[in-house]
Amino acid sequence: MQDEPLSFDEFRARLRARSEIRTPDGACPVGIALGVFRGRWKADVLYRLCAGPTGFGALLRALSPDGLTRTMLASTLRELERDGVVCKAERWHGRVRRVDWSLTPAGEDLLPVFHALMVWGARHERTP
């Protein structure tokens, strides 16, 4: 792949020509991107963080009705932090520590992806 991302038209032309699109180390860029979402809770957590910095407790309250546990949230946030798409900021209010999680610049780059997925999901929603 090149330094500049392919335009959508270039992308389609390369696909039609069955020309492989790879990073310099030979990886599939789509696989890299999807790897960030791989896992039961990653997309849900990222979606919540799109609205802005959010505390651990607020994330847990928002997602626990769907079955997310404290342990799984901690694990998911650590994985997303390792992937470079979220970061935590600690603040102290007297003796109380507050940790907010937010998107990094790389995570912010996911906003158009989330928008495209939202549009696709709404367009192709299946009703039972």
> What separation in angstroms does the CA of 110 have from each of 59, 62, 69?
19, 21, 25
pTM for the complete prediction?
0.78
Angle at which helices 70-82 and 42-49 cross, to 10°: 80
What is the pLDDT, as a whole number, of residue 128?
61
What dotted CATH number matches 39-123?
Answer: 1.10.10.10
Query: Residue 100 phi/psi, 5° resolution?
Result: -110, 140
Length, in residues, of the chain: 128
Strand pairing of 54-55 and 86-93?
unpaired
Residue-level pLDDT at 2: 44
The residues spanned by each domain of the chain are 1-38, 39-123
Give the pLDDT score at 1: 42
Local confidence pLDDT in tens for the 128 residues of the chain: 445 777 888 878 877 887 777 878 878 888 888 888 888 999 999 999 999 999 999 999 999 998 999 999 999 999 999 999 999 998 888 888 888 999 999 999 999 988 888 898 888 887 66
